[in-house]
Amino acid sequence: MKYIFAFWLSVFITIQISAQKDSTSNLENTLRLKKSIAVVPFMPKMYYNDLSRLWYQTGEMKSQDQQIKDISRYLVSYLNRDLGGDCEIIDLNLTQTVSTTDFLVEYYFIGKIGYADTVPQKEVKMKWAKKKSHKKAKTQTRRGGELVSERKDRTYQFLNFNIRDKKKFRELCQELGVEQILFINQFDVKGDFGPYSSGRETDYFIKIHYSLYNNKGKLLLGNKTKFATTNEKARYSHFLKHDLKMAISEITQKIIDLNTVVLPEESKN
């Protein structure tokens, strides 16, 4: 009797271990479910780069159009490198080869760039205290017939792609067959590289404003990168192959974190 009990106990334990492995495998498969993400690159008018002055001086790169092309190409390649295992990245610079629809122009047309609070908003924003004044402030605006003084704090804001035509947006996503759209709203590099700079190593900051929407038009992520370095190695090739890669990793990590969290919830539906 003792041996029979031991036999059935071992069978029960084996079944439980097998079920646990299956459950773990299903969870891993869920987390690794590929998502298709289309990338809308920044418009040329939303490109600002103080490093261009340095590149002009050294003769490395004098064409802004070429800078935009190179940066857009490298940007997508780094997204592919970091997200390719879990996502299919579609570069809208290349979609004209497979469709008669110019998706890039269509997406540009249905939205407008404007400031918005970062999403998700985890930081506590500072609120400016209202002060009474008999003088009209320069920042006064008129609301409902009343003058209201405003002072904007952009610390926790970013340049967002505001969708004006969500119906058209959903149609484009359906035609492309994508689940998410990543908008690169502005590419901005700030640093002091003017003729009156001290000549010492100067900090510069790569701020890439981006928005990630699902194919229904809901904003999932919205923020800007905060990568900073110095101009000691700010050569064109180094910028493309190192600095840009580090800045993009801030975006890809947030996308990975987001999709790792939401995928188990979606798999329940």
Please spell the DSSP secondary structure of 115-178, one letter per residue: EEE-BS--SPPP-PPP---SSPPTT-EEETTEEE------TTEEEEEEES-HHHHHHHHHHHT-
Name the one residue in this structure whose structure tokens are 């017939």. 145
Question: What is the distance between the alpha carbons of residues 130 and 45, in angstroms, rounded to a whole number?
Answer: 36
CB 186 within 8 A of CB 169: no
Angle at the Cα of 123 (from 119 to 124), degrees rounded to 5? 120
Q: What is the pLDDT along the chain (269 residues), one digit of tens a residue?
A: 555 655 565 655 565 555 555 544 443 443 445 789 999 999 999 999 999 888 988 889 889 999 999 999 999 999 999 998 878 999 998 755 456 678 999 999 999 999 999 998 765 555 544 444 444 444 555 555 554 445 566 788 999 999 999 999 999 999 999 999 999 999 999 887 655 555 566 788 999 999 999 999 999 999 999 898 887 778 899 999 999 999 999 999 999 988 875 444 554 44
The type of residue at 257 is: D
Per-residue confidence (pLDDT) for residue 86, from 0 to 100: 79
CB 74 within 8 A of CB 125: no
Domain locations along the chain: 34-121+156-267
List the beta strands (DSSP E) in 137-261: 141-143, 146-148, 157-163, 180-190, 203-214, 219-224, 227-230
269 token code pair: 């539906």
Per-residue confidence (pLDDT) for residue 1, from 0 to 100: 58
124 token code pair: 């506590």
CB 170 within 8 A of CB 218: no
Rounded to two decimals, the pTM is 0.73
Specify which residues 224 forms β-bridges with: 209
Per-residue confidence (pLDDT) for residue 38, from 0 to 100: 95
Kindly report the CATH number that applies to the domain delimited by 34-121+156-267.
3.30.160.150
